Amino acid sequence: MRSEATICALATHGTGAISVIRISGPDAIRIVEGLFHAATRGKKLRDQAPSTIHFGTIRHRGKIIDEVLVSLFKSPQSYTGEDAIEISCHGSIYIQHKILELLVESGAVPAKPGEFTQRAFLNGKMDLSQAEAVADLIAAESEGAHQVALQQLRGGFSNQLKHLRGRLLHFISMIELELDFSEEDVEFADRQQLTELVGEIDLLINELIRSFRLGNVLKNGVPVAIIGRPNVGKSTLLNALLNEERAIVSDIEGTTRDSIEDTVNLQGITFRFIDTAGIRETAEPIENLGIRRTYQKIGQASIVLLLAEAGDDPTLIVQSVEAIRKQIAHGPQQLVVVLNKSDQLSGKELRDTLAELTVLPNERVIALSAKKGNHMDSLKGLLLELVNAGNIRHQDVVISNIRHFNALRSASESLSRVSEGLASALPSDLLAQDIREALHYLGEITGEVTTDEILGNIFKNFCIGK
Amino acid sequence: MRSEATICALATHGTGAISVIRISGPDAIRIVEGLFHAATRGKKLRDQAPSTIHFGTIRHRGKIIDEVLVSLFKSPQSYTGEDAIEISCHGSIYIQHKILELLVESGAVPAKPGEFTQRAFLNGKMDLSQAEAVADLIAAESEGAHQVALQQLRGGFSNQLKHLRGRLLHFISMIELELDFSEEDVEFADRQQLTELVGEIDLLINELIRSFRLGNVLKNGVPVAIIGRPNVGKSTLLNALLNEERAIVSDIEGTTRDSIEDTVNLQGITFRFIDTAGIRETAEPIENLGIRRTYQKIGQASIVLLLAEAGDDPTLIVQSVEAIRKQIAHGPQQLVVVLNKSDQLSGKELRDTLAELTVLPNERVIALSAKKGNHMDSLKGLLLELVNAGNIRHQDVVISNIRHFNALRSASESLSRVSEGLASALPSDLLAQDIREALHYLGEITGEVTTDEILGNIFKNFCIGK
């Protein structure tokens, strides 16, 4: 499956102090040798030890394009498993462009998105779920998303899956042997052991399936909608959450965020505030909550913060909650009533209001002052509690990829049929069919079973140069 | 002058496939060793050969932050001349931030803008004009700007200046010796040889001073103003120049430009169209050219393109030109009359118009159709001719830095006084004073003479990580 073309791409972005250009493939060293003049006269890249760095110039028709460092990697000790070179040049647009142009003129082809990682997969440097983790790792902006991606990159659950799938493969070959001797009615595959193995695999699979909700939260963040009538303090509340974090984010120069979305990171989990521009501008009174746009926002959210003033009539708050509940019916949204401007009430008044709101059976109620910053920590703690963040530290194996989730569910269904078949002493040929199906879905996750379509879908979303 | 602190910074920009973090200073290796776990068990960075690459993980309290490549450089074989390390990690904001944070916690300090290059200068890895060229090289977007910066980085004129200054230093020590023996009336410094040396230095200096206009054009581009009445085709003309180039620029993915300024690159020279947003919107009729805003634009330009229609009354065109000439008086602007929509005239009509415009003594006149793309090459050729681009290939030594320009002019003045002094047999002590002044200005260029203020001004404009 190894490709014959040598690919090249910019591996860094924009114009920093330096840029890195990657080349990988059978001709990588030859192509770069034609352009690179080592500062040490007569030094030939092909004769150098792998994993070494060489100073010199990139030249074109005798003219120097740049002074560069060339990092030399030799197959199989490289990211892709092929011969590979990284050229570290000055970060100017002109130089980047010119060196890439020269590489292409010398026979390299521009890499497609994710093609370096795809080659790493095809050359057995990583399995498919690890390859997918590379893109997730680069995109990770929070500690949670980073941890999930890194665990997956390090082989987290896929090593376990591969091991169990290997054992299942052994059983299918035994059962297929039985089919060859079907007239003799022998059992090569121990049904008791097979039942135990299926149980073991099913246990892991279901643990992984259950972890998806958390994995998804860690990877993609938690969508939160803040609703409430104008001037109740939606914008103040959001800013109070945002500002603290912004100060942390910008404390080391050169690490600014590209994103201008309103997201808040709490203990490594990203909370995304849906359409906050809209929320900030909204002039819908709480009585008109039936308006479609507000319900759309609620529909996208996992958590809905209904903001009211602590001094509002509790009866009206309860009515608002009931109106929302009616609309979302049995939707998955978790609803929190936030009583803002709590500092404007006396302790007794606040206690009375809270007492009246205890009629709400499922909603958490929290009182705070966004403007003064009072009790903001309670809100943060509640947000973390609602996404079950307490479990993150203790749970080692988490999946976050919808493709894995779907494959695991299909594998689980096949395995259920295998279990039933085993219980009802199903004939070997029918049993084998269900096991093969389970093997197929498990193999799709790690890439032991794959198609061009699956690979195409995975790598098209990578960035160029990875 | 070598600093004791170990500095760190991101050397790449934003979130590409990879990011590179640089660390330099006496503790660089020790600090990274505390965070880096080589994949090869027991491998210690300090024991590895210089200019080698090592795969492993960055960890914090046992938790893996990323899988990275560490490039090891040992003093003096590094960019800064100090022990230095480059960590090549996955290009996520979270990882960049986290690794920098860990480095700072371990004792590194965030680098100031240009601090790596400043250290390279202080450690004698490059002279001051070479250090300045690094920033120019990164900023270079055109071939011309790139060539000037690279030539300077490679030591272009500064090696020559340093050599001649060295010889002048020899003479001043001889003359100072004469002062010690002033009562004996001896001459240690051969006046004939000194006169020849001063002549040689003055020749080079004046060549460099003359090259500044071209160097400045190459580095900063040529400001061009397009003026003319509404609907005469200003925007069409600019787009015709821009479009061809845009197609070239975007032909390799991943090398997009950040700049959205209207600049056109012709044979490596950048032409910058001043305030083109304004030009596109302008509704000023040509008769109202007296309007201040138009004259401001003209005042900023090196080249003014006065756009008219080929079918316009030649007398009115001549009047417009004279009105502009009167305003700019003896300004340095070069004025070109561009007759647009030339395709709407017959050959004879066009010849007649051109004949009538020969009354203009200093203006070049060119006829074209921006819409149809006819004769656009003539305009491009003329633009290049006006900036004397033909000379670029033949002229090896070009300065582009206003600081160098000013120092060279001061040095030239001092040397003129030295020449006069030699001619008039000025006493040694007065002669020595002028020579010392020339030495001072020459030394400022290469950094043999410098102050914290000069260094501060130079490096504050660098990017972080360089």
Mean pLDDT of B379-401: 77
Provide the pLDDT confidence category of residue A388 given band limits of 50, 70 and 90.
Answer: confident
Is A248 within the bounds of a domain? yes
> What's A93's domain CATH number?
3.30.1360.120
Residues of chain B contacting A99 with CB distance shorter than 8 Å: none
Give B67-85 as a DSSP string: EEEEEEE-TTSSSSSS-EE
Is B276 within the bounds of a domain? yes
Neighbouring CB atoms inside 10 A of A377's CB total: 10
The whole-number pLDDT of residue A396 equals: 66
Mean pLDDT of A188-205: 92
Regarding whether B431 and B412 lie in a shared domain, the answer is yes
User: Each residue of A18-67: pLDDT tens digit?
Assistant: 999 999 999 999 999 999 999 999 899 999 999 999 999 999 998 999 99
The whole-number pLDDT of residue A20 equals: 97
d(CA A234, CA A238): 6
- Which residues touch A47 (CB under 8 Å, ≥6 apart)? none
Residues of chain A contacting B249 with CB distance shorter than 8 Å: 97
Q: Is A250 on the interface with B (CB under 8 A)?
A: no
User: Each residue of A406-455: pLDDT tens digit?
Assistant: 999 999 999 999 999 999 989 889 999 999 999 999 999 999 999 898 89
- Which residues touch B210 (CB under 8 Å, ≥6 apart)? none
- The DSSP output letter for B369 is B
- Which residues touch B53 (CB under 8 Å, ≥6 apart)? A51, A52, A53, A71, A73, B69, B70, B71, B72
Chain B residue with CA closest to A146: the answer is B94
Q: Which residue has the higher pLDDT, A442 or A393?
A: A442
Regarding whether B180 and B40 lie in a shared domain, the answer is no
Asked if the model's pLDDT at residue A156 lies above 90, the reply is no
Residues of chain B contacting A134 with CB distance shorter than 8 Å: 90
Testing the interface with A: which of B64, B80, B92 to mutate, by most A Cβ within 10 A? B92
User: Each residue of A58-103: pLDDT tens digit?
Assistant: 999 989 999 999 999 999 999 999 999 999 999 998 999 999 999 9
Out of A100-114, A302-316, B248-262, the most confident range is A100-114
Residue A339, strand partner residues: A308, A367
Q: Is B261 on the interface with A (CB under 8 A)?
A: no
Regarding whether B116 and B139 lie in a shared domain, the answer is no
Nearest C-alpha of chain A: how many angstroms from B97?
Answer: 6
Is A430 within the bounds of a domain? yes
When the pLDDT of each residue in chain A is averaged and rounded to a whole number, the result is 86
Residues 61-80 of B with CB under 8 A from A: 64-67, 69, 71, 73
- Which residues touch A406 (CB under 8 Å, ≥6 apart)? none
Nearest C-alpha of chain B: how many angstroms from A69?
Answer: 10
Low-confidence winner among A462-466, B6-10, B32-36 (lowest mean pLDDT)? A462-466
The whole-number pLDDT of residue A137 equals: 94
Total domain count for chain A? Answer: 3
Provide the pLDDT confidence category of residue A249 given band limits of 50, 70 and 90.
Answer: very low
User: Each residue of B341-363: pLDDT tens digit?
Assistant: 999 999 999 999 999 999 888 88
Regarding whether A121 and A13 lie in a shared domain, the answer is yes
Regarding whether A227 and A204 lie in a shared domain, the answer is no
Length of chain B: 466
Answer yes or no: are the C-beta atoms of A28 and A83 closer than 8 Å.
Answer: yes
The answer to whether the CB atoms of B94 and A141 lie below 8 A apart is yes
Residues of chain B contacting A463 with CB distance shorter than 8 Å: 16-17
The whole-number pLDDT of residue A188 equals: 83
Regarding whether A339 and A262 lie in a shared domain, the answer is yes
- Percentage of chain A surpassing pLDDT 90? 57
The whole-number pLDDT of residue A201 equals: 95
A16: left (phi over 0), alpha (psi -120 to 50) or beta: beta
The whole-number pLDDT of residue A225 equals: 87
Answer yes or no: are the C-beta atoms of A39 and A52 closer than 8 Å.
Answer: no
Answer yes or no: are the C-beta atoms of B147 and B393 closer than 8 Å.
Answer: no
d(CA A164, CA A207): 14
Is B455 within the bounds of a domain? no
Mean pLDDT of B22-43: 96
Mean pLDDT of B187-202: 91
The answer to whether the CB atoms of B95 and A145 lie below 8 A apart is no
The whole-number pLDDT of residue A177 equals: 86
Peptide bond into B113 cis (omega under 30): no
The whole-number pLDDT of residue B284 equals: 45
Testing the interface with A: which of B8, B52, B94, B393 to mutate, by most A Cβ within 10 A? B94
Token pair for B312: 């316009």
Would you call A129 helix, strand, or coil by DSSP? Answer: helix
Residue A158 phi, psi (nearest 5): -70, -30
Q: Which residue has the higher pLDDT, A14 or B54?
A: B54
> What's B137's domain CATH number?
1.20.120.430
Regarding whether A434 and A301 lie in a shared domain, the answer is no
Mean pLDDT of A325-333: 78
d(CA B251, CA A97): 10
Q: What is the ipTM of this complex?
A: 0.82
The answer to whether the CB atoms of B51 and A54 lie below 8 A apart is yes
Regarding whether B196 and B81 lie in a shared domain, the answer is no
Is A432 within the bounds of a domain? yes
d(CA A350, CA A346): 6
Provide the pLDDT confidence category of residue B184 given band limits of 50, 70 and 90.
Answer: confident
The whole-number pLDDT of residue B51 equals: 97
Regarding whether A311 and A255 lie in a shared domain, the answer is yes
Amino acid, single-letter form, for residue B26 = P
d(CA A343, CA A156): 48
Provide the pLDDT confidence category of residue A3 given band limits of 50, 70 and 90.
Answer: low
Regarding whether A416 and A331 lie in a shared domain, the answer is no
User: Each residue of B126-165: pLDDT tens digit?
Assistant: 999 999 999 999 998 888 899 899 999 998 889 989 999 9
Asked if the model's pLDDT at residue B69 lies above 70, the reply is yes
* End-of-domain residue from the set B330, B349, B369: B369
Is B381 within the bounds of a domain? no
The answer to whether the CB atoms of A92 and B134 lie below 8 A apart is no
Asked if the model's pLDDT at residue A394 lies above 50, the reply is no
The whole-number pLDDT of residue B128 equals: 95
User: Each residue of A368-380: pLDDT tens digit?
Assistant: 999 898 999 999 9
Expressed as residue numbers, the domain containing B40 is 7-126
Q: Which helix (H) or strand (E) holds A157?
A: helix A156-180
d(CA A130, CA A151): 9
Regarding whether A260 and A331 lie in a shared domain, the answer is yes
The answer to whether the CB atoms of B94 and A139 lie below 8 A apart is no
Answer yes or no: are the C-beta atoms of A179 and A427 closer than 8 Å.
Answer: no
**Closest residue to A64, CB basis, from B116, B143, B154:** B154
Provide the pLDDT confidence category of residue B281 given band limits of 50, 70 and 90.
Answer: very low
Asked if the model's pLDDT at residue A283 lies above 50, the reply is no
Provide the pLDDT confidence category of residue A464 given band limits of 50, 70 and 90.
Answer: confident
> What's B352's domain CATH number?
3.40.50.300
Token pair for B408: 């060279």
The answer to whether the CB atoms of B17 and A12 lie below 8 A apart is yes
Is A383 within the bounds of a domain? no
Q: pTM of the predicted model, to two decimals?
A: 0.82
User: Each residue of B450-465: pLDDT tens digit?
Assistant: 989 889 999 988 888 8
Mean pLDDT of B202-220: 90
Q: Is A134 on the interface with B (CB under 8 A)?
A: yes
Mean pLDDT of B62-76: 96
A404: left (phi over 0), alpha (psi -120 to 50) or beta: alpha
Regarding whether B291 and B335 lie in a shared domain, the answer is yes
Answer yes or no: are the C-beta atoms of A325 and A263 closer than 8 Å.
Answer: no
Is B122 within the bounds of a domain? yes
d(CA A80, CA A75): 8
The answer to whether the CB atoms of B15 and A258 lie below 8 A apart is yes
The answer to whether the CB atoms of B255 and A16 lie below 8 A apart is no
